[in-house]
């Protein structure tokens, strides 16, 4: 049920709305130092960005390995990768986060106990990054697999003919050549990563959404704080879009522009 | 930027592909794991929570179908406004899509439920209106939030779909003397939907994956039931595993249904 709200004296609707924003003015609420909650929100945002960066990085690593497994692995590895990407993409992130969060910390502690070590408290930051990275990896696998398939086959064959080792081939040819094809998909994944950090609020990690809820609960100014947090997320997205556009332009240099419909 | 990841892209493997030697071994291992889970884990709670779980499942499906339908109906004008509308319509529509796609759904739901929920009681005319008994419950906010989210993502897809219909088709229809609304109804919309159909399956799966978020605003869907089991009995893994399985099966049904739908619609594009 919506939180109880002290009844105000009967006012005309517009005046009520105005008085709502006027009460304990907006700037006081969002001030960066302790009486205001702006600092808490910004710290939450910093945590969110940190998790998103970590998860995206892990996702890229898993994605590259997964794409290689799917493309060049043996039949067993291919099937296992298929199961991984299918399951992760079909089950809600929220369920995966809970499952991996509980199971992961439990498993590590059991292993430590079996080895005679004391239990450790796994920080929310590390667990969050690991769990979201695992989820991102499944999507990244598909994006990178598609991008590798888009590289003209001759380039890879030529590199093999030069006698390049698989690692050198990956570093010099496959990764740079697939980048322009992968960037739109990876950019999309980055935006999803920034928004998925909000899900960690459900397991109690203090990122932007949970910080906002605490601020809103303490001051009862629910509307103001959720709008403010929304604006922060939106700024992050728009800022990311600028960077992405710049990276994409750089990755595509030397490639003739294709006249697309859009 | 398409948000959908193609869930339906890979064609279904032929039945014989399932009986390669390595697959038989893998399937045997999987069956072994399932049997191990069924025998060594605790499942006695299922009997007690069965009716509640069924209710939750029904609510999840009902939310999914309703919000996808409403969201799609909202996405058509949003896409049309962006693809062909005048500036004063295109700008707000694209701003709406950007805002919805740029903020987490969890935050949108909380903004609607806690934010609007705390604003509404201050207006006496809302409190006295006929809608008030509904506005005090959680599900209208859940439906609204999920609908707007679906409309935001799908509106962007429909923009591309509307823009992708060849001009010649529309000009030919106009030359036949069809009115603007008839061109839209008979030519433009059907072809746009056909173009959007492959991503629609992906969007629907994404929407399914978004439904558990409504549990955080006290709507008791299937996810909330699993949480309840965890709280009541301190059994952690079993409900979550079963939950994952249920979502997998619903996803399977969605993908299968869209595949059927796509194969029924002739795919020749002019």
CA count, 13 A, side-chain hemisphere, B67: 31
Encode burial over B11-41: b for 16+ CB neighbours within 10 A, e otherwise: eeeeeeeeeeeeeeebeeeeeeeeeeeeeee
Instruction: Assess B26–A contact: CB distance below 8 Å, yes or no.
Output: yes
Report pLDDT digits (tens) over A203-225.
Answer: 778 888 888 888 888 887 788 88
Q: What is the pLDDT of residue B234?
A: 82
ipTM of the complex: 0.81
Average pLDDT for chain A = 82
> Domain residues of chain A, as ranges?
13-251
What confidence category does residue A36 fall into, taking pLDDT thresholds of 50, 70 and 90?
Answer: low
Q: What is the pLDDT of residue A29?
A: 67
DSSP B146: H
In a domain, B270, yes or no: no
**Chain A residues with CB-CB distance to B158 below 8 A:** none
Report pLDDT digits (tens) over A80-134.
Answer: 998 899 899 889 988 888 888 888 788 888 888 888 777 777 777 888 888 899 9
Q: How far is A173 from chain B (nearest CA, A)?
A: 26
Q: What is the pLDDT of residue A1?
A: 44
Average pLDDT for chain B = 85
Ranked by mean pLDDT, which of A214-223, A251-260, B1-10, B137-146 comes out on top? B137-146
pLDDT at B269 over 70: no
Query: Which residues span the domain enclosing B62?
Result: 49-264
∠A181-A70-B242 over CA atoms, to 5°?
Answer: 110
* Comparison of pLDDT for A102 and B155, the residue scoring more: B155
State in Å, rounded, how far the first CA of chain B is from the last one.
24
- What CATH number did the domain enclosing B130 receive? 1.10.3720.10
Q: Which CA distances in Å does A106 have to A57, A101, A109? A: 24, 8, 5
What confidence category does residue B270 fall into, taking pLDDT thresholds of 50, 70 and 90?
Answer: very low
In a domain, B43, yes or no: no
* Smallest CA–CA distance from A92 into chain B, residue: B209
- Which tokens go with B262? 């796509």
In a domain, B20, yes or no: no
pLDDT at A161 over 90: yes
> Do the Cβ atoms of A37 and A219 come closer than 8 Å?
yes
Encode burial over A112-151: b for 16+ CB neighbours within 10 A, e otherwise: eeeeeeeeeeeebbebbbbbbbbbbbbbbbbbbbbbbeeb
In a domain, B9, yes or no: no
Reference A195, options A257, A124, A127, A136; nearest CA is A136
Report pLDDT digits (tens) over A130-159.
Answer: 889 999 999 999 999 999 998 888 998 999
- Select the residue from B2, B4, B5, B204 to test the A interface by mutation, using most A Cβ atoms within 10 A: B5
What confidence category does residue A18 fall into, taking pLDDT thresholds of 50, 70 and 90?
Answer: low
Tally of domains within chain B: 1
Reference B147, options B89, B78, B199; nearest CA is B78
Instruction: Assess A247–B contact: CB distance below 8 Å, yes or no.
Output: no
Q: How far is A78 from chain B (nearest CA, A)?
A: 11
Dihedral of the alpha carbons of A206, A210, A215, A217, in degrees to the nearest 10: -130
In a domain, B36, yes or no: no
pLDDT at A63 over 90: yes
Question: Under CATH, what is the fold of the domain A13-251?
Answer: MetI-like fold (1.10.3720)
How many contacts (CB atoms, under 8 Å) link A and B? 159
In a domain, B225, yes or no: yes
Average pLDDT over residues A190-200: 90
């Amino acid at each position: 049920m919506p939180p109880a709200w002290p009844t105000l004296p009967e006012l005309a609707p517009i005046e009520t709305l105005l008085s709502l924003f006027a009460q304990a003015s907006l700037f006081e609420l969002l001030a960066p130092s302790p009486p205001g909650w702006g600092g808490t929100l910004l710290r939450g945002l910093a945590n969110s960005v940190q998790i998103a960066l970590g998860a995206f990085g892990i996702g890229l690593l898993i994605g590259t390995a997964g794409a290689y497994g799917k493309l060049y692995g043996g039949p067993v590895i291919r099937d296992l990768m298929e199961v991984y990407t299918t399951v992760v993409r079909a089950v809600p992130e929220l369920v995966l986060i809970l499952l991996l969060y509980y199971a992961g910390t439990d498993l590590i502690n059991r292993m430590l106990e079996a080895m005679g070590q004391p239990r450790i408290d796994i920080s929310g930051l590390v667990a969050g990054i690991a769990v979201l990275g695992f989820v991102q990896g499944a999507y990244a696998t598909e994006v990178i697999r598609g991008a590798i398939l888009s590289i003209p086959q001759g380039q890879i064959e030529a590199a093999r003919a030069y006698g390049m080792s698989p690692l050198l081939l990956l570093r010099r040819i496959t990764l740079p050549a697939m980048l322009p094809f992968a960037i739109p998909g990876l950019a999309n994944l980055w935006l999803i990563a920034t928004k998925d950090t909000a899900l960690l609020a459900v397991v109690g990690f203090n990122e932007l959404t949970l910080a906002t809820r605490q601020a809103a609960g303490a001051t009862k100014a629910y509307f103001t704080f959720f709008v403010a947090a929304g604006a922060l997320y939106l700024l992050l997205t728009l800022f990311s879009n600028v960077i992405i556009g710049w990276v994409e332009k750089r990755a595509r240099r030397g490639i003739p522009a294709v006249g697309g419909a859009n | 930027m398409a948000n959908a990841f193609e869930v339906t892209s890979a064609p279904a493997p032929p039945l014989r592909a399932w009986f390669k030697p390595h697959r038989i071994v893998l399937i045997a291992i999987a069956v072994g794991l399932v049997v191990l889970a069924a025998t060594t884990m605790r499942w006695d709670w299922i009997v007690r929570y069965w009716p509640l779980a069924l209710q939750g499942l029904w609510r999840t499906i009902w939310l999914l179908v309703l919000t996808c339908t409403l969201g799609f109906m909202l996405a058509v004008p949003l896409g049309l406004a962006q693809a062909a509308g005048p500036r004063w319509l295109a700008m707000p529509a694209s701003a709406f899509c950007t805002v919805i796609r740029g903020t987490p759904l969890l935050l949108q739901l909380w903004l609607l439920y806690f934010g609007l929920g705390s604003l509404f009681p201050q207006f006496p005319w809302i409190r006295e209106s006929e809608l008030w008994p509904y506005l005090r419950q959680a599900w209208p906010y859940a439906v609204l939030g999920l609908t707007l989210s679906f409309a935001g993502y799908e509106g962007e897809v429909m923009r591309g779909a509307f823009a992708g219909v060849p001009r010649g088709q529309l000009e030919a229809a106009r030359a036949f003397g069809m009115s603007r609304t008839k061109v839209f109804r008979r030519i433009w919309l059907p072809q746009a939907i056909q173009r959007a159909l492959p991503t629609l399956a992906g969007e629907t799966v994404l929407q399914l994956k978004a439904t558990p978020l409504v549990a955080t605003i006290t709507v008791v869907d299937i996810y909330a039931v699993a949480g309840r089991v965890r709280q009541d009995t301190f059994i952690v893994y079993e409900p979550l595993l079963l939950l994952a399985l249920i979502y997998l099966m619903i996803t399977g049904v969605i993908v299968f249904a869209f595949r059927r739908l796509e194969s029924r619609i002739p795919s020749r594009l002019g």
